[in-house]
DNA sequence: AGCACTTCGCTAACATGTTAGCCATATAGC
DNA sequence: GCTATATGGCTAACATGTTAGCGAAGTGCT
């Protein structure tokens, strides 16, 4: 690799940094037969007792069509239950089963433990910095960001030249 | 939503922050009929003239099995070519076609332009902070991070209780 | 040469991401 | 009441992520 990328891609750096952390948690999660997303959902329900699908989408950063599949697989595994709400027949409530509660009770502490290990390895100051700067990106109140105007679409793919 | 998540999940914050940025670029990329990953790959090849698949994997944060599919689709679209190396019949060289070069020449400046808009909206200081802190996470020389020991695996999924 | 060992890209199987759009249910306005 | 609109979860179709493992090609050692 002779030279570095001249243009530094922020989204890509996020991806890389995220992986740098996640790779230390993934073994724990898969050890229990869960996927990363399934664990995120269990954690969220653990916090809120019960959640509606769209809330899970927002909390866990999962798009609705993905969530549908994840939830039905988790239902099959006996980890969650889905019940329609009486007041509003469109909405659904997702809850944990006792089995899932036991699972969370075992898995959760291990994640916390590994987190402490990572915090020491990376340095608590860096972790703190991360929280601060990520919050600035996420929670900041910004006006609407203008979208540059796009040229008329050409059919690159079909075009043979 | 009555209360906030007590435990803050760093990988998830990364995901959220990344999306906060990416959502402003995605429209541009899809406007040209590309996916985010295809664009990452074109950018990388644009920088290095030619790359081998495993180099692309590393640069673009794409796993090898994913890349296989992405590249063959891009080959079908006439965006890249794959040629086996003479010296080492295992290895492959990936290059852009003229069509892809034109595409990059059109798309690249738009990305840069949108990037400037975002930099202003977020504040150049914040962007700079991001680069610094992400670099600390990614490029830092750390010793091997210990992995906590896992309990014997139980068959949660099959277990009925 | 012959052998064990590694490397590289690949396939397979499954889970998730992404976009578009559907259908039933609620809600607002008339 | 009745229509127009909005909302919530869903399906469908395709692209990618993730893990395991395969087969051919190179390497090092004897």
Q: How far is the CA of B84 from the C1' of D26 (A)?
A: 14
Give the burial string for A113-127 (b: 16+ CB within 10 Å, else e). Answer: ebbeebeebbeeeeb
Q: What is the mean pLDDT of residues A78-102?
A: 96
Percent of chain A with pLDDT over 70: 90
The answer to the question of residue A100 being in a domain is yes
The answer to the question of residue B53 being in a domain is yes
Number of domains in chain A: 1
Neighboring chain B residues of A2 at a CB cutoff of 8 Å: 48
Residue B21: strand, helix, or coil: helix
The answer to the question of residue A161 being in a domain is no
Residue B149: the pLDDT is 86
The answer to the question of residue B105 being in a domain is yes
Residue A46: exposed, middle, or buried by beta-carbon count in 10 A (0-12, 13-18, 19+)? middle
The answer to the question of residue B24 being in a domain is yes
CATH code at position A89: 1.10.10.10
Any B CB within 8 A of A23 CB: no
Q: Please name the residue of chain B whose CA is at the shortest distance from the CA of residue A29.
A: B150
Residue B150: the pLDDT is 83
Q: How far is the CA of A140 from the C1' of D21 (A)?
A: 46
Residue pLDDT tens, chain B, 161 long = 444 444 578 999 999 999 999 999 999 999 999 999 999 999 999 999 999 999 999 999 999 999 999 999 999 999 999 999 999 999 999 999 999 999 999 999 999 999 999 999 999 999 999 999 999 999 878 878 888 888 877 666 666 55
Percent of chain A with pLDDT over 90: 80
Domain with A79, as residue range(s), is: 10-134
The answer to the question of residue B114 being in a domain is yes
DSSP string, B67-129: HHHHHHHHHHTTSEEEEE-SS-TT-EEEEE-HHHHHHHHHHHHHHHHHHHHHHHHH-HHHHHH
The answer to the question of residue A154 being in a domain is no
The answer to the question of residue B71 being in a domain is yes
Residue B159: the pLDDT is 60
């Amino acid at each position: 690799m002779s030279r570095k990328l001249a243009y530094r891609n922020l989204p890509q750096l996020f991806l890389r940094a995220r992986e740098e952390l996640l790779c230390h948690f993934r073994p724990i999660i898969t050890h229990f037969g869960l996927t990363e997303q399934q664990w995120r959902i269990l954690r969220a329900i653990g916090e809120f007792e019960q959640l509606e699908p769209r809330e899970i989408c927002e909390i866990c950063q999962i798009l609705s069509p993905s969530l549908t599949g994840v939830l039905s697989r988790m239902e099959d595994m006996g980890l969650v239950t889905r019940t329609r709400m009486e007041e509003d027949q469109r909405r659904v409530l997702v809850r944990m089963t006792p089995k899932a509660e036991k699972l969370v009770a075992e898995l959760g502490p291990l994640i916390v433990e590994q987190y402490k290990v990572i915090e020491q390895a990376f340095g608590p100051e860096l972790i703190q910095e991360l929280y601060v700067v990520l919050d600035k990106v996420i929670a900041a109140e910004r006006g609407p960001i203008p979208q540059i105007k796009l040229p008329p679409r050409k059919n690159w793919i079909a075009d043979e030249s």
